[in-house]
Chain A
């Protein structure tokens, strides 16, 4: 992955393969190790639940994916705000916002799918148009829309500005999703870790398994965010270079 290659058009420069660095490689290994722990604790060491029995094991992937999706969307909003209201209007923040939203959408899709499987075991149905499920689906669709807007044409600045506005608006849905189980009557259970008094209401090994899941998905999120934002930076650079070449060709045509 680090082997340098010499491009034919510029023999003095090198082009490393990929977007990895020593830090991301360490992060990647740590992610793989904690994912292994997640499987071991989630499927093996953690006890079955008194009420849900083994179905509770889905919690260790379902809850971390939704928490990380929330985090990813909050990071998107924060980077969008910095881009919009910062003095420099740095496109680097726009790229982080876009990369984070993509990862968030992937995690949110996993939340919906694992939730449907869990629902089939505990409720007997894959889907109900209940408050939590409906608002979660709405949040998912909103960020699909955010990514669609990013894919529209125009300059990088236009992309950054219009997607930042949507990123700041869409994040408002998160409290609605999170508190939907309290605001409306819902099939979905309330908070998994804390009870209504704010006390931890979980078996120690279950809580540890969930903690492992959260750590594993957080490491994965950071690793993906770094790599994906670098890919977007390279896409933008090649876009700019292509535009420069087209302009040069056009000027040469006009001059001849």
Chain B
């Protein structure tokens, strides 16, 4: 699946009220494209955006990754949800604590 397809899939699920947990996370480029695409799809009273939290990857990549310039291998885990339903309460080195509400919540 290409990055564009991945981002499209994530955003479709989130707009449908799903919370998406990506075990391998998103690369920084994918994250910024997700933000950009989210902005194009914000609609008043329908979709106000996303809540996204991620942990950076621990590994820096193999030797071949470094030759290919892929030393930034992205995040180790990323959580994405609708902004009106998911709110990050706390985040530290080991866990993300969120509050999930049904419908519009503060």
Pair from one complex: no
| B interface with A by C-beta (< 8 Å) | none
| A interface with B by C-beta (< 8 Å) | none
